Structure 1
């Protein structure tokens, strides 16, 4: 399926997931020639605004404060951040955690190394031991994987029985996605290749042997909850704003 066809009728393709029992809509990527440089220089978001990853550390950590609150209830052990980027999540974890990260960007992996034991590569090329981790954090990574089921075979193997998986990804069947259609902002990231809905991700996790403990829809306590974004909901002819339900975070246990 081309990205153009998907943009033309997102709703129909997402509804097919319910009918066919498939887990995600697969679309071809748009190569990012500036992938490595983007970690250090200005990037452009779907609204055309310039952003600097390094300058957004505090904002990014504040956006996932609910994750840190949940982890206060979890006994310290070994944690793996899949797609750790510049290592912000690992840097904010308190003492007592054995910190590991995995990152495909060489530039980011080298920077993140100051915060933990970082592997430059993918889950499929990693060599982590069986039952090695108590927690795996996978924040906005699964939508970038062409065949998530292959990566989850690795996750099942390296996460301890009863271990915690924290998985965040966009909902491509959210209220905003349905309302704005082709103008849904998260469709315009060319690296998003596996598109899940809330329902299909529930099924994917269940069928891969995970028990869902909790689901969060972060928005109200994030930097994106602004009057400007709320007002933009009334104009569906422009790019959709960040809004409640666009992102979902699943807290799951590994039922081996």
Structure 2
């Protein structure tokens, strides 16, 4: 039993930070329905890698945004739409166990309205996780791959934990946790990531330092 626990935790060292909340509330072998807001960058494949029984529904402006044919085949459903239009009638209500919205709202001028319009898609008791650059990101050094908020010219608004808590409470959600994202497993792996980035890209991406320097904030809430 002890050896199994050690092996499981070593295997989970590589778990992407945005999946930590899923890992806490859903087991690897558990079937649950996820609505992933921002389904590019091979998100479907990454999600199914760690949660193979997850029913994956993705939302994005473009289906092909850094997605391969494999990614597209792994999506159980995909909704191609502009979030800012708030037209979500094609997405079923009271259907999802979790909504994941990692590094999306900073690209939206009306992110709080988008959140309020998406909450009805959750089942009662469903979870919503939102991750975004915090105010501290405006003070960090500029670096390729984004370390300062203004490194990405598609960032259009800075959100705060208090604002998002109030938004979620007004949408019949109870905040569970929020604050600066500090993934200590990521920090532990920092030397390996530095080496990997140098070999793979020829430079170290700014995102490697997010946990160490407190670039991102998050909120986690449950629908009543």
TM, length-normalised to structure 1 = 0.59
Q: Contact 1:90–1:115 (CA<8 Å) still a contact in 2?
A: no
- Paired residue for 1:118, among 78, 84, 101? 78
Q: Contact 2:97–2:127 (CA<8 Å) still a contact in 1?
A: yes
Q: Contact 2:116–2:167 (CA<8 Å) still a contact in 1?
A: no
Unaligned runs of 5+ in 1: 1-58, 230-238
Q: RMSD over aligned Cα, in angstroms?
A: 3.6
Residue 221 of structure 2 aligns to a residue whose secondary structure is: strand
* CA displacement 1:49-87 (0-9 Å, x = unmatched): xxxxxxxxxx98534452342133696331111101122
Unaligned runs of 5+ in 2: 1-12, 195-205
* CA displacement 1:69-115 (0-9 Å, x = unmatched): 21336963311111011224432243432211111123236743222
Q: In the alignment, does 2:211 pair up with 1:246?
A: no
Report the counterpart of residue 38 of structure 2 in structure 1: 83
Matched ranges for 1:46-57 at <5 A = none
* CA displacement 1:197-253 (0-9 Å, x = unmatched): 2333333333333211123613432268459x9xxxxxxxxx996334321222210
Residue 73 of structure 2 aligns to a residue whose secondary structure is: coil
Matched ranges for 1:5-20 at <5 A = none
Residue 99 of structure 2 aligns to a residue whose secondary structure is: strand
- Paired residue for 2:23, among 60, 69, 92? 69
Q: Contact 1:219–1:225 (CA<8 Å) still a contact in 2?
A: no
Stretches of 4+ moved more than 6 A in 1? Answer: none
Higher relative CO (Cα under 8 Å, sequence separation at least 6) belongs to 1
Shift of 1:179: 6.9
Q: Contact 2:98–2:126 (CA<8 Å) still a contact in 1?
A: yes
Shift of 1:129: 1.6
Residue 31 of structure 2 aligns to a residue whose secondary structure is: coil
Which of the two has greater helix per residue?
2
Report the counterpart of residue 53 of structure 2 in structure 1: 96
Q: Contact 2:130–2:220 (CA<8 Å) still a contact in 1?
A: yes
